[in-house]
Chains A and B, each alone.
Chain A
Amino acid sequence: MANPNPTPVRAPATGAWWNDRRVRAVFYQIVFVLAVAAGIWVLVDNTIENLRARGLRTGFDFLGARSGIPISDSIIPWDPDDTFGRAYLVGILNTLRVGIVGIILATILGTIVGIARLSQNWLVSKLASIYVETIRNIPLLLQLIFIYALFGFALPEQLDPLVIGGGFFLSKGGLMFPLLKLEAAHYAAGSVFLVSFAAMIVYNVWAKRRQNATGVAPPRLLPSLAMLLLPTIIVFLAMGAPAEFDVAAKTRFRFIGGGAIGPEFLTVLLGLVIYTAAFIAEIVRSGILAVSYGQTEAAGALGLTRGQTLRLVLLPQALRVIIPPMTSQYLNLVKNSSLALIAGYQDVVAIENMTMNQTGRALEAIMLIMAVYLTISLSISLAMNTYNKRIALKER
């Protein structure tokens, strides 16, 4: 007999807790993870055992051993007495250096070329198309080899460089430039500049708030500039305005002194920028084309110029389409920088290869290099995703 007024029961009792779907799901996942971990452990253990049996040393202790290897280009001081661990650090910094500068320049060049391809000027758009189609279709490796060889042939001899003037020289040894000899005045001026910069930002935030609150916009450009520059200049002048430069001078074999950018770094940077920019150009172009033509017409109807339309209407909307594929181009650029070693630029892969060969710790070296690239790639992805979220269309 059915109860016409059943008391509401709690969740249908389907049996014991181990029959609960959720409990089971968690259980299976734990089993799965354990199985994978056990599998990896067995594999690693077996590998190490076998490597030992073959007389190969294993372990990461080599990172603390004297390396004895030469590194020609490093941001931090390098001496062959330093360890393999530090060599890795130098390599990572070299990879980051070419990666970061490369990403910035490739973005600028790619955006310009992408917009140029949409230009109404026939010549400009044609040139941009030729650039994109040529560069995209030649393997990067060949381009790097070509650029490096070109430097070798085309640049003047080291003892007879092209004198650009102002302490700049160009030769097979790369680009040499004057370096400011840093003195107390420069550190002082630099510190003042940083403080001024912070003050300027505070002022601008305040000005914006005030404009929002009162509708009157306080002047911003001039006070900002004055805040930013005047204190720095005054401090610098007061301290005697020292400006001595270290300029490269001729020695028996080559010009030494000042700063120098070697042809190895230049080759890799140029190669990565030129190559990646071609892909970025296409992304920018298709991003702009993705914004409906109605927007352009509307902007035109409002009386915006073509430049304003691009800057204020098209690009901000295009950005939303552009960011995700752009992320993968940035990742590509960093990964492609591993080709650097063909031009003698010692990025982290070149260092890894050296280490692997000198110590025989191939397994460890490969694990390290994978960790390095994974970290760099995930960081780029994270940064780009965060940015993407910020500019995403907010539904209101």
Chain B
Amino acid sequence: MKKLAIAAAAFAAAALVAGPALAGKDLDNIRKRGSLVCGVNTGLAGFSIADTQGRWTGIDVDVCRAIAAAIFGDANKVQFKPTSAQQRFQALQSGEVDVLSRNTTWTLTRDASLGMIFTGVTFYDGQGFMVAKKLGVKSARELDGAEICVQSGTTTELNLTDFLKANNMGKAKAIVFEKIEEATAAFFSGRCQAYTTDASGLASTRSKDAKNPDDFVILPELISKEPLGPAVRRGDEEFFAIVKWVLYAMVEAEEYGVDRANVDQMKGSPNPAVKRLLGVDAKNDMGKLLGLKADWAYQVIKQVGNYGDIYDRNVGPKTPLKLERGLNALWSKGGLQYAPPIR
């Protein structure tokens, strides 16, 4: 019913506020409020999860902090709002959150018809399957006849039906749950023989929810493209540009070897690109063009880190998720992470 309430509120708002949204309105609100409201996951280790003290960690969470650092010069000026797969779009549409940074796949339908617009890709992912090791399954194509737990309101459920159709796996059956906890609980209790979601989500669930993570295997096939990234409401190009360039700044920082540890030293770098990035040269102020302070990117890197920093700290090989950089390596290292020049 909460969803209904949110939706009702969204439409009440839509019904009362007349006329098209003014450009810059969202940014004005954020500035006035003094903090960014960020829609994150209810609990997905490595992406966004709160510990017992209510302290949030994860890639998606760090992206929110980076945006706050760019706007306010303070990465802590963020309020996190947990949203489930089902609630997330309404939370953004209704204005309950300013930005949705929550392992959300960029698709045409979402970009073009839900009143939102994606700002970039923070994690290139693909959908995978997890099964109990004892079943001896080696490939997702063997899953005909299996019951597969899946969460509704996701691209996951759509990819699953596509995959089963394309591979003539008519005897496989999806068991659909609305909440992730229900879906994973059903999988671990033996209701389903397989669980499917983004591969990163599988790694996260396995590391956090499995009694013994080694009892479960993630099958090799990735059956879809899941570019995950933050999205904002349509209608405020200024805010959209800020979020987009914060992401690029983190990638560009990694390209130039500017990271959280060395950013102060790097301020003295003779490289003009680094100078531009860190806003050292007042005559070459990139921040101003975005309506931000000159040191916007410096604050992002200093307080949150470059892309590699947040990747390694949250989901990298040294974390319980143990995800290699793979597609998320820099373009110069064989991956897909690429930033247009900051100039």
A interface residues (Cβ-Cβ under 8 A, vs B): 43, 46-47, 50-51, 53-57, 68-72, 80-81, 149, 152-153, 157-158, 172-173, 251-254, 256, 262-264, 341-344, 346, 350, 353-354, 356-360, 362-363, 366
Contact pick for B158, options A172, A252, A262, A358, CB 8 Å = A358
User: A50-B17, A53-B20, A252-B145 are known contacts. Are A350 and B176 too (CB-CB below 8 A)?
Assistant: yes
Contact indicator A253/B146 (Cβ below 8 Å) = yes
A51 / chain B contacts, CB cutoff of 8 Å? 11, 14, 115
Q: Would you call B193 and A172 a contact (CB within 8 A)?
A: no
Q: Is the CB of A72 within 8 A of B18?
A: no
Which residues in B have some Cβ–Cβ distance to A below 8 Å? 3-4, 7-8, 10-11, 14-15, 17-21, 85-86, 89-90, 93, 109-110, 112-117, 135, 142-143, 145-147, 150, 152-153, 157-158, 160-162, 165, 171, 173-179, 182, 185-186, 189-191, 193, 233-235
Assuming the A-B contacts A53-B19, A360-B89, are A80 and B161 also in contact, with contact meaning beta carbons closer than 8 angstroms in the complex?
yes
- Evaluate whether A254 and B146 lie within 8 angstroms (CB atoms) in the complex, with A80-B165, A152-B190 already known: yes
B176 contacts A263, C-beta separation under 8 Å:
no
Report the bound CA distance from A158 to B7 in whole Å: 39
Residues of A within 8 A of B152 (CB): 69, 350, 353-354, 357
12 sampled A-B residue pairs with Cβ under 8 A: A47-B15, A50-B17, A50-B19, A54-B115, A68-B158, A69-B176, A152-B186, A252-B146, A253-B193, A360-B113, A362-B93, A363-B7
- The interface residues of chain B lying within 8 Å CB-to-CB of A173 are 147, 191
CA distance A373 to B178 in the complex (A): 20
Residues of chain B within 8 A of A69, CB atoms compared: 152, 157-158, 161, 176
Q: How far is the CA of A158 from the CA of B233 in the complex (A)?
A: 46
A71 to B164, CA, bound (A): 13
Give min CB distance, B184 to chain A, whole Å.
12
Interchain CB contact under 8 A, B10 and A362: yes
| Residue in contact with A353 in the complex, picked from B3, B116, B142, B189, CB distance below 8 Å | B3
Q: How far is the CB of B16 from chain A (nearest CB, A)?
A: 8
CB distance from A112 to the nearest CB of B (A): 32
Known: A47-B11, A70-B174. A55 touches B235 (CB 8 A): yes
A80, closest chain B residue (CB): B161
For B112, B146, B190, the residue with the greatest tally of chain A CB atoms inside 10 Å of its CB is B190
Instruction: Give the chain A neighbours of B115 by CB distance below 8 A.
Output: 51, 54-56, 360
Beyond A253-B135, A360-B114, 19 additional pairs, beta carbon < 8 A: A51-B11, A53-B20, A55-B112, A56-B93, A68-B157, A68-B162, A72-B175, A80-B161, A81-B165, A256-B171, A263-B191, A341-B177, A341-B178, A344-B175, A350-B178, A353-B152, A354-B157, A357-B85, A363-B11
Q: B191 is contacted by which of A152, A256, A362 (Cβ under 8 Å)? A: A152
- Would you call B178 and A353 a contact (CB within 8 A)? yes
Contact of A254 among B4, B7, B112, B145 (CB under 8 A): B145
Residues of B within 8 A of A342 (CB): 178-179, 182
Whole-angstrom distance between the Cβ of B87 and the nearest chain A Cβ: 9
Contact B86 A54, beta carbon cutoff 8 Å: no
Tell me if A356 and B7 are in contact (CB < 8 A). Answer: yes
Min Cβ gap A19→B in Å is 40
Partner of A57, one of B113, B143, B178, B185: B113
Contact of B178 with A362 in the complex, beta carbons under 8 Å: no
CB of B15 within 8 A of CB of A357, answer no
Inter-subunit contact A152/B14 (CB<8 Å): no
**B142 contacts which chain A residues (CB < 8 A)?**
252
Contact at A251–B158, with CB atoms within 8 Å? Answer: no
In whole angstroms, what is the CA distance A71 to B158 when docked? 11
Residues of B within 8 A of A357 (CB): 85-86, 89, 152-153
Chain A residues whose C-beta falls within 8 Å of the C-beta of B86 in the assembled complex: 353, 356-357
Select from chain B the residue with minimum beta-carbon distance to A356: B7
